[in-house]
Structure 1
Amino acid sequence: MRRVLRSVLPIIVSLLLVVPSCGRATKPETPEELVVAMRKAYERKDADAIMALTADPAILPKGAMKRQQERYDRERDRDELEVELKRNGMWYRAWKDAKFVSAREHGDHVHVTVETTNVPTEIVLVRQDGFLKIHPAPGSFD
């Protein structure tokens, strides 16, 4: 019995560590990790993971973006995202092939260049809940 337990225990521990993270968004620490996590979430058409990787401006510190924060509707964004995923829309097609190009720190946010369908695109990341998330209104930043 001990011999069997010793040989099965590492497998059980591995499963306990791996299975809970399946299908969930990772907690990206770097811009490159966020781009990879977002790409994988779009590949799986996982709206929950995509929303988990998207910052909620309502809980960011109020500042110059106060008007945008007050108008932002996370539920509306989620509904639009689900339609987008079902239709294999423009954002789905772009993100499922996205590649990290570069990142530039700007104090409280990070400008990131991502290549989507061979076209460089800018996104903005902010720290929220202890890890990087994409900001839904990148035009609000310098």
Structure 2
Amino acid sequence: MMATTDSLFDAAKAAMAKAHAPYSRFPVGAAILTEDGRIHAGCNIEIVSFPEGWCAETSAIAHMVMAGGSRIAEVAVVAEKLVACSPCGGCRQRLAEFSAPSTKVHLCDAATGIVETVTMGELLPHSFATDSLESATDQEGA
């Protein structure tokens, strides 16, 4: 069965319901669709030394990696209190590490679903990429 954007949103919303956000009271859920069609979801997990903890995207990436996944095909992010929840800067970089600039990122509203779809390239136009490290190493050796 091929995952749909609706099932990706549903997984993100279900993950949001499990968020541990006692300090911010800002539950967030994220779901990642991998290139092989599997969905991996995560929620934000806060700890008392706020703002430490894990964002929803970070925990979804961890689930993906632990299940053997390595490439993101699509992402959905949802928050209870926002009309269109966008990943924070750190999560944009984390998502970019496992996706292409053309990867779709669905910004969702918990009540209505997908509000806007953008690409990783639009969210993070100048991401720090592996090839940046390689070119820096090449320059050092020259």
User: Does TM, normalized by the shorter one, top 0.5?
Assistant: no
- Determine which structure has the larger helix proportion and give its number: 1
TM-score normalised to structure 2 length: 0.26
Higher relative contact order (Cα pairs below 8 Å, separated by 6+ residues): 1
TM-score normalised to structure 1 length: 0.26
- Determine which structure has the larger strand proportion and give its number: 2
Structure number with bigger Rg: 1
